[in-house]
Amino acid sequence: MHALILGGTAEARELARLMMGQGWWVTSSLAGRVANPHLPVGEVRIGGFGGPAGLARWIFDNDIEVIIDATHPFAEKISTSAAEAALATGVPLISLHRKPWEPVPGDRWLPVASMDEAASIAARDYHHIFLTIGRQQLAPFARDPHNLYVIRCVEKPTAPLPARHRLILSRGPFDVAGEKELMVGNQIDCLVTKNSGGQLTAAKLEAARSLGIPVVMVERPPLPGGSRAVVAHTPVEVLRLLREM
């Protein structure tokens, strides 16, 4: 039983471990974006497939019996590829996407649909902005010549950055005390983040809540249209779905 896990997340690594323990032969696929990735157990392949057709060919050539899209909820292109390749090959697809964060009393969230919208609000209304959005979508913020941006990401961004910025290279996980210290120390008056969900990076939300700092929350893109994927929120749920298949 050969499964393909499209990975790049902690949940994908956990799922590879669980499935190997249940006798699956697992190949995990990574995009190859970070120089020093955490590797899952089992076989690993790195790099793009060449779009949906390339992915479908790979699935066919490697006798894949199930595809699990365990990529980050904001990785839209690979999820679209997975949906199209599943339809083209007839191989079942399970989407493992952790639950989004939900606001709780005390939160001051400003939900937005795009990074452009987040950048407009940040530039217009705030002065010391904490950006935890990764390094690939910083361009809209680079247009702001006035305000200070504290940018935290795993690897050094290659795109242009705002004129006034401080860069923090760190992978996390982060704790609430550390996040509060960072926010107070940099006089942060706004946090901009994506609704990734999960525990590993949730401490910043608790820190912002306790300091009364507003959070510009970029909401998730929708799942690819026309997908026949079955959705799971945890690796254990995926195991249950596999047993029912």
Confirm if 114 and 105 have CB atoms less than 8 A apart: no
Residue whose CB is less far from ligand NAP, 54 or 106 = 54
Complex with ligand NAP: residue 106 or 173, whichever CB lies closer: 173
Binding flag, residue 157, ligand NAP (CB under 6 A): no
Nearest CA-CA partner of 40 in 63, 18, 62: 18
Per CB under 6 A, 72 contacts ligand NAP = yes
| Residues 6 or more apart in contact with residue 200 via CB below 8 angstroms | 10, 172, 173
Rounded distance, CA 7 to CA 154, Å? 17
What is the nearest approach in angstroms of ligand NAP to the Cβ of residue 51?
4
Residue 158: is it exposed, middle or buried by C-beta count within 10 angstroms (0-12/13-18/19+)?
exposed
For residue 161, the tally of other CB atoms under 10 A from its CB is 17
Decide whether 53 or 236 has the Cβ nearer to ligand NAP: 53
* Diameter over CA atoms, the chain: 56
Choose the binding region for ligand NAP from 36-44, 50-58, 174-182, 202-210 (rule: CB under 6 A).
Answer: 50-58
Stretch that binds ligand NAP, among 26-34, 59-67, 101-109, 213-221 (CB under 6 A): 26-34
Scanning 23-31, 95-103, 158-166, 203-211 for contacts with ligand NAP by CB under 6 A, the matching segment is: 23-31
209 binding ligand NAP? (CB under 6 A): no
Angle, helices 10-21 vs 235-244, to 10°: value is 40
Could you tell me where the DSSP H helices lie in the chain? Answer: 10-21, 51-61, 76-89, 115-125, 139-142, 176-185, 203-211, 235-244
Q: How far is the CB of 192 from ligand NAP (least distance, A)?
A: 13
Is 116 one of the binding residues for ligand NAP (CB under 6 A)? no
- Does 77 engage in binding with ligand NAP (CB under 6 A)? yes
Interface with ligand NAP includes 173 (CB under 6 A)?
no
Asked if 71 touches ligand NAP (CB under 6 A), the answer is yes
Residue 187 C-beta: closest distance to ligand NAP, Å: 26
Give the residues lining the site for ligand NAP (CB under 6 A).
6-9, 29-31, 33, 48-51, 54-55, 71-72, 74-78, 81, 134
